[in-house]
Amino acid sequence: MLNRSTLLSFDAGQYVYRMGDAPGGIYGLVSGNVGILSGPFSETPQLMQLGRPGAWTGEGSYITRQPRLIELQAKLPTIMMYLPLDQMDKMTFLNPQVIRNFSMIMIHTIGVLLRIVNDLQLVDPARRIAATLDRARMQYLIELPITQAVLGEMSCATRRQASIVLKEFSENG
């Protein structure tokens, strides 16, 4: 896999790929951070999750051969490993068991999505914000590259609610 991949660098704010882009390969986060954005095609995609070094994404195109359903945007200067779709096909032709390895990326993605759904079902805004911070920190272990407004969006709360809750968390240590 390493011999078939290339390293790519992205500046903060640069998109790795956008919703609706042609099918392509998978990306592994080496360093930096990416935001994972999604939403209906008729609306502006919203930040749903932050990536973590070592994680891979983009498997949907490999499986479906359909356009991208999410967006990846570098939040910090970022380095990603890219395995092109044609190389994925060559690997699975040589060893069909490799399909399971690529499918495990989707299983991980489903786990993250289930966690997001669970977090957003919490009624108390402070608990939703705490769960969102916990999920994001689990994925990215240093300072989070998001604003209070974005934290509010990610947790179905307002920027004001996020600000109040963060102040309370800070005061409580």
Flag whether pLDDT at 1 surpasses 70: yes
pLDDT in tens, 82-106: 999 999 999 999 999 999 999 999 9
DSSP string, 117-129: HHHHT-SSHHHHH
Strand order in the sheet with 26-31: 6-10, 78-83, 26-31, 56-57
Say how many C-beta atoms besides its own lie within 10 A of residue 26's C-beta.
Answer: 23
Q: Residues 136, 155: contact at Cβ < 8 Å?
A: no
pTM score of the predicted model: 0.87
Overall average pLDDT of the 133-146 stretch: 72
Give CA–CA dist 152/109, Å, rounded.
22
In the chain, the percentage of residues whose pLDDT exceeds 90 is 79
pLDDT in tens, 30-64: 999 899 999 898 999 999 998 888 899 999 999 99
Say how many C-beta atoms besides its own lie within 10 A of residue 170's C-beta.
Answer: 8
Overall average pLDDT of the 155-164 stretch: 94
DSSP string, 76-96: SSEEEEEE-HHHHHHHHHH-T
**Could you identify the residue written with the tokens 């992205």?**
10
Strand order in the sheet with 46-50: 15-17, 71-74, 34-38, 46-50
Identify the burial level of 66 via C-beta atoms within 10 angstroms of its C-beta, where 0-12 means exposed, 13-18 middle and 19 or more buried: exposed
Flag whether pLDDT at 21 surpasses 80: yes
